[in-house]
Amino acid sequence: MHSYGAKNLADSWRTVRKNTVQIAEEIPAEQYGMQVASETMTVGQMLAHMACATYWVEQAHFVEQLTAIDGAKFGAWFGAIGAQAAKLTTKDAIIDALKTHGESYATQLEAMTAAQLGEEVALPGASKSRFEMLLGVKEHEMHHRAQLMQLQRMIGIVPHLTRARQAR
């Protein structure tokens, strides 16, 4: 049986982040302030959030290698993510952070062993494997990327993945 391991996870993450970077590059800087409703993030805020979102996962799984995470830890990490994202105020800074943080995360993913990926991590009210939690980062990115692709359409840009499909 074929195993989907750390290398596969890192490769798929790199593909997802590469697509996010391309969207970030294609959206004009003057559209980074676009907000579709008052309670939503602007394009720039969403991209900055995505650039910094790996922070908590890196702290939990690579730095501290925790086997249990409580609400206080999540709160502290998400506060740090918000502070980091707030510092990314230009298109160039956001794209640089997307690239730098994305590759840092991928490199750390590749270093995970099968045993580490299989470890259970206790969460408030549940537990998940480390693998599932690391895969969730990619799912989170894809969720926001879909929102960005819709925003691209709203400003008249056909997303690159659609253009590629149409070309085939």
* Domain assignment of residue 108, yes or no: yes
Q: Phi and psi for 90 in degrees, rounded to 5?
A: -125, 155
pLDDT for 3 equals 84
Specify if 56 maps to a domain.
yes
Q: Does some domain include residue 1?
A: no
The pLDDT tens digits for 127-153 are: 999 999 999 999 999 999 999 999 999
Q: Dihedral sign for Cα 91, 93, 94, 99, please.
A: positive
Percent of the chain with pLDDT over 90: 96
Tally the domains of the chain: 1
Per-residue model confidence as pLDDT tens digits over 108-132 = 999 999 999 999 999 999 999 999 9
Identify the CATH number of the domain in which residue 158 sits.
1.20.120.450
Residues spanned by the domain of 25: 6-167
Predicted confidence at residue 35, as pLDDT, reads 94
- Are 122 and 70 within 8 A, CB to CB? no
Supply the pLDDT for residue 103: 98
The pLDDT-based confidence of 12 (bands split at 50, 70, 90) is: very high
DSSP 8-state assignment for residue 156: T
